[in-house]
């Protein structure tokens, strides 16, 4: 049994029909060179034999002492979670993205472990795809990426590789969990409560420091500085997913020219794309947009504390400076703001940062749930960067051609911009409400335009 952290619980509280709270990933593979035409069907038969399901994929929600917890599911039905499907003809990327858009719109059954694995055939050019979705209360982006990477290999000749739900068994770990007694449960919950209470002084200190700085510096990002925007209207349950790859070498060249990080540059690309998209809708706010940028806390953890399940992320509220017309100056300002936020976290523990995050996002969550306080607009969009494999990867001999994150759109947060790195590529995945954000796919071109602007400014 494992209690959910405050951050994990938020993802459960926020979920409703038009607002599924699961994250996902789309991977596109090429057949091995010697593979027969029915390679994907044979792969499906192989995967069906992997009936052992290990943590966190064997966990379902339950409640102990009025607190949600994860418990081992004794009656897991693998056929419900693993699905072998085919795209309609002509099997283009357009059909694949439409499939992901539709599947990502559907809620999952909370009486079962909250994950699905879709093996998809029918793509042209001897390719197939894998789409996986997992509830965000169960994993964060970093842990999801780590589990995906465990499924892959840099060896193209390796075969009989297990699926992501059967990783721990192959590594000699136990897939089951013993059921704790009532007193063990109480002790565990009290221990967790004590850990949370111990963070109060540091969290209160940082909140007070943020409030005081916001009073003195109008540019500083407090929890109420985001403008009202079309991005922050109520949404429907229908999603549009758009994805594209960009060259990592180009982005790193811009990093070198501006003495910035990759995360700074991709954030600036997103800011440029948002500025152009909203200008074309005649809907760009006068005040700059604010992005919620998740940052991994795993580097702050002590040795042995890292776990696959749960969320280990803090949040930076990044000013995107969309009121700035000059691309280079916009990047410099974004870099400065993100550095200041990271310095604030440098002297805090992971538990303190998690609780600081929960408190600073509390107004946003209340507004997202009710819409009653539009002035409590904490951020306008989510921009998340999850590192991926640094070398060419394979799964049962099939070459991984691209991997695209599929995240969460919400009421009053109609767009989520998530990206990951793979080999020499940066893979963007945009998810949004189809009605609120028309022609969302055009933003892929605007991301490219934003990178070109930075390259041209650097060269001049």
The SS3 assignment for 166 reads helix
| Of the candidates 76, 86, 69, 143, the residue with the CA atom closest to the CA atom of residue 109 | 76
Cβ-count burial 128-155 (b if 16+ within 10 Å, e if not): bbbbbbbbbbbbbbbbbbbbbbbbbbee
Tell which residue, 199, 27, 202, has the closest CA to residue 120: 27
Give the residue from 155, 157, 160 showing the smallest Cα distance to 170.
160
Please identify every residue annotated as catalytic. 136
Intervals of the chain under pLDDT 70: 168-224, 296-313, 364-375
Distances (CA, A) of 86 to 94, 99, 134: 14, 10, 21
Residue from 227, 242, 243, 245 nearest 381 by CA: 227
Cα dist. 8→4, 354, 378 in Å? 6, 10, 19
Report yes or no: 295 and 318 within 8 Å, Cβ to Cβ.
no
Tell me how far apart the alpha carbons of residues 45 and 299 are, in angstroms, rounded to a whole number: 39
pLDDT at 220: 45
| 103 in Cβ contact with 37 (< 8 Å) | no
Can you give the C-alpha Rg of the chain in angstroms? 22
What string of DSSP letters covers 33-84?
Answer: TT--TTHHHHHHHHHHT-----TTTTEEEEEETTEEEEEE-TT--HHHHEEE
pLDDT at residue 210 in the model: 56
What is the token pair recorded at 388?
A: 């991926």
Q: Determine the pLDDT at residue 191.
A: 42
CB of 327 closer than 8 Å to CB of 156: no
Residue pair 422/391 in contact (Cβ under 8 Å)? The answer is no
Extract the tokens encoding 445: 């071109």
Identify the pLDDT of residue 183: 31
Q: How far apart are CA 33 and CA 426, in angstroms?
A: 26
**Tally of CB atoms within 10 A around 279:** 12
């Amino acid at each position: 049994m494992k209690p959910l952290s405050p951050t994990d619980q938020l993802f459960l509280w926020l979920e409703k029909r038009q607002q599924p709270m699961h994250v996902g990933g789309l991977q596109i593979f090429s057949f091995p060179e010697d593979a027969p035409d029915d390679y994907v069907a044979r792969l499906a038969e192989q995967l069906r034999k992997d009936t052992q399901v290990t943590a966190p994929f064997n966990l379902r929600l339950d409640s102990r002492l009025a607190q949600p917890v994860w418990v081992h599911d004794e009656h897991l039905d693998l056929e419900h979670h693993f699905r072998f499907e085919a795209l309609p003809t002509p099997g283009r990327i357009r059909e694949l993205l439409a499939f992901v858009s539709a599947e990502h719109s559907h809620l999952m059954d909370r009486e079962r472990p909250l994950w699905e694995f879709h093996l998809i055939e029918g793509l042209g050019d001897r390719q197939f795809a894998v789409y996986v979705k997992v509830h965000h209360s169960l994993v964060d982006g970093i842990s999801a990426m780590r589990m995906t990477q465990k499924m892959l290999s840099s060896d193209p000749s390796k075969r009989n590789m297990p699926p992501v739900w059967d990783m721990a068994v192959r590594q000699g770990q136990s897939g089951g969990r013993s059921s704790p007694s009532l007193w063990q449960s109480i002790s565990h919950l009290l221990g967790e409560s004590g850990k949370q209470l111990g963070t109060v002084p540091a969290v209160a200190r940082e909140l007070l420091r943020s409030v005081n700085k916001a009073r003195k510096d109008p540019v500083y990002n407090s929890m109420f500085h985001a403008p009202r925007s079309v991005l922050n209207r109520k949404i429907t349950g229908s999603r549009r997913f758009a994805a594209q790859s960009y060259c990592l070498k180009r982005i790193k060249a811009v990093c070198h020219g501006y003495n910035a990080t990759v995360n700074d540059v991709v954030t600036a690309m997103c800011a440029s794309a948002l500025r152009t998209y909203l200008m074309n809708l005649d809907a760009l706010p006068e005040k700059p947009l604010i992005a919620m940028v998740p940052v991994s806390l795993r580097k702050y953890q002590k040795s042995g504390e890292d776990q696959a399940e749960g969320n280990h992320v803090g949040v930076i509220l990044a000013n995107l400076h969309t009121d700035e017309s000059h691309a280079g100056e916009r990047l410099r300002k974004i870099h400065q703001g993100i550095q200041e936020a990271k310095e604030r976290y440098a002297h805090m523990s992971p538990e303190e940062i998690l609780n600081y995050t929960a408190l600073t996002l509390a107004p946003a969550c209340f507004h997202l749930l009710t819409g009653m306080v539009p002035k409590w607009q904490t951020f306008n969009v989510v921009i998340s960067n999850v590192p991926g494999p640094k070398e060419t990867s394979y799964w049962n001999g099939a070459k991984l051609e691209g991997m695209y994150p599929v995240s969460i759109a919400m009421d009053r947060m109609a767009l989520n911009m998530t990206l990951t790195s793979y080999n020499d590529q940066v893979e963007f995945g945009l998810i949004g409400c189809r009605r609120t954000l028309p022609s969302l796919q055009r933003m892929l071109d605007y991301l490219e335009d934003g990178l070109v602007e930075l390259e041209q400014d650097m060269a001049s």
